[in-house]
């Protein structure tokens, strides 16, 4: 047996041959036999769950003797070595590549003064819920995230008594089209039944429709020594001007470069190209004037943010909401992942993706739970969705990365507003059993429904 389950399902994960699996599926007391599947992270990093917790958490740490503090009060690892690549990853619940630390600090990081990366985003950094505690359940390895490990991560988190579960992974290939095949969905349903709020990222395969679930290119070798180079995703010798392609429009990333660099949108890049082609000796300089915040067009939908509509339930608006996820400054463990430039080896890093927006929402949910302990997961979701901001800072519709007004399959209800959510006026709640008629309406078979809700369900026919 690899993992036993007692909270999300009644069952276990084990290793069987194809013949053994078929034989087990025929047994009267076996509801379902599922082949192992591998899910992908919603970045190229981050083998982590993130959870906001009670201080009375019933957890444990699996790295006794190592330095720790009262912020991290639970840490587990759920992995078995399947390949040589997996064996390269730590067998302790440590951050192998930095991204886990990054998202954890976005959610619950303490106040840190004087933070910046190469002069960018100067100020005091803090997580969304800086006084909260956290637990980390490591369920991924070098080859991805086994469904069996994800399920046991949910199972143990429920047993530990967490308040909020944050997860940012999903299927890498074609999106799931039915709930009973969705491991994250099954785990989230059981967590919701126990009063735990679950936040899941939509993915980073935009700007195409129905892509939601839950870089630099190359430069040909030419003589660029002593010159500034305009790159449509590439690098030069003295300095770099990066421009987006048309698909990414005005979506600017605060990436770190080993050379002086500036990054412009597609329209800006066309203007620079036109200037270069207009003269035999083009000149340029880069002047850094600090980070500009609260631009009038904020917030804006990133080109990489996955879109709805949902393929699982076409009658439900997805995504639910949008949140901050582009150019987020947060902690980074350089002891594990030193970077190529000594000037970049600080304990901070900029990153972007729905993986960054999801911890913001998770921290917001933790704050709401702390302020209103009697609110259920459904109530917290209701107040977040109904207190949104539908307009940008200048009172206009929220735009895509190419300055075209975004539709609801990109924005969901709108941009989250924590202050309004804390005092919403109207609140609405539903019980876990109220989801059953909805699932019945999807015309699932009895076995399929039982896989989601862990009991026999009889749907009424009209």
| Predicted confidence (pLDDT) at residue 50 exceeds the cutoff of 60 | no
The pLDDT of residue 80 is 59
Q: Specify the pTM.
A: 0.82
Give the residue with greater pLDDT, 192 vs 318. 192
Q: pLDDT tens across 90-142, in order? A: 567 777 777 778 888 888 888 988 888 877 788 888 889 999 988 888 887 76
DSSP state of 157: H
Measure the CA–CA gap between 381 and 42, rounded to whole angstroms: 22
Q: Where does residue 15 rank: exposed (0-12), middle (13-18), buried (19+ CB within 10 A)?
A: exposed
Strand segments, DSSP code E, in 58-179 are 72-77, 112-117, 120-125, 133-138, 145-146, 162-167, 169-170
- CA distances, 176 to each of 180, 212, 368 (Å): 9, 10, 30
The pLDDT of residue 45 is 35
Percent of the chain past pLDDT 70, that is, above it, reads 79
CATH class of 38-213+305-430: alpha beta
The pLDDT of residue 81 is 47
Q: Which of 168-172, 211-215, 248-252, 353-357 has the lowest mean pLDDT?
A: 211-215
Q: pLDDT tens across 249-271, in order? A: 777 777 777 778 888 888 888 89
Domain with CATH 3.40.50.200 in the chain: 38-213+305-430
Q: Which of 367, 371, 408, 363 is nearest to 388 (CA)?
A: 408
């Amino acid at each position: 047996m690899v993992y036993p389950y007692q909270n999300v399902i009644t069952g276990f994960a084990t290793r069987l041959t194809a013949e053994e699996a078929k034989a087990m599926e025929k047994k009267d007391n076996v509801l379902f036999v599922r082949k192992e599947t591998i899910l992908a992270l919603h970045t190229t990093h981050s083998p982590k769950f993130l959870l906001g917790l009670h201080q009375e958490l019933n957890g444990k740490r699996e790295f006794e003797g190592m330095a720790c503090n009262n912020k991290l009060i639970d840490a587990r690892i759920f992995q078995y070595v399947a390949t040589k690549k997996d064996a390269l990853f730590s067998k302790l619940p440590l951050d192998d590549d930095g991204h886990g630390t990054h998202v954890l600090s976005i959610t619950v990081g303490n106040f840190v003064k004087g933070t910046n990366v190469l002069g960018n985003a100067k100020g005091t950094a803090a997580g969304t819920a800086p006084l909260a505690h956290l637990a980390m359940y490591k369920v991924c390895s070098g080859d991805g995230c086994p469904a069996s490990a994800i399920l046991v991560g949910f199972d143990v988190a429920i047993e530990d008594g967490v308040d909020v579960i944050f997860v940012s992974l999903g299927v890498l290939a074609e999106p799931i089209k039915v709930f009973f095949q969705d491991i994250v969905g099954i785990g989230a349903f059981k967590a919701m039944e126990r009063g735990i709020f679950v936040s899941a990222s939509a993915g980073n395969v935009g700007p195409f429709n129905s892509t939601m679930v839950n870089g630099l290119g190359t430069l040909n070798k030419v003589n660029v020594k002593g010159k500034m180079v305009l790159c449509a995703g590439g690098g030069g010798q003295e300095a770099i001007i990066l421009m987006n392609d048309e698909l990414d429009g005005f979506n600017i990333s605060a990436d770190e470069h080993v050379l002086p660099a500036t990054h412009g949108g597609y329209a800006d890049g066309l203007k620079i190209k036109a200037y270069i082609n207009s003269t035999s000796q083009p000149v340029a300089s880069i002047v850094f004037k600090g980070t500009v915040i609260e631009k009038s067009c904020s917030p804006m939908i990133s080109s990489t943010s996955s879109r709805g509509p949902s393929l699982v339930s076409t009658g439900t608006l997805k995504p639910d909401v949008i949140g901050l996820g582009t150019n987020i400054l947060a902690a980074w463990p350089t002891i594990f992942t030193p970077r190529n430039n000594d000037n970049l080896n600080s304990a901070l890093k900029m990153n972007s993706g729905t993986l960054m927006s999801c911890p913001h929402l998770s921290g917001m949910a933790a704050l709401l739970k702390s302020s209103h302990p009697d609110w259920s997961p459904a109530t917290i979701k209701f107040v977040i969705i109904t207190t949104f901001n539908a307009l940008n800072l200048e009172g206009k519709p929220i735009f895509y990365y190419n300055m075209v007004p975004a539709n609801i399959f990109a924005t969901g209800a709108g941009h989250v507003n924590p202050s309004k959510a804390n005092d919403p006026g109207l609140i609405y709640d539903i019980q876990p059993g109220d989801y059953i008629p909805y699932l019945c309406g999807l015309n699932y078979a009895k076995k399929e429904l039982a896989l989601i809700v862990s009991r026999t369900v009889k749907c009424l026919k009209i």
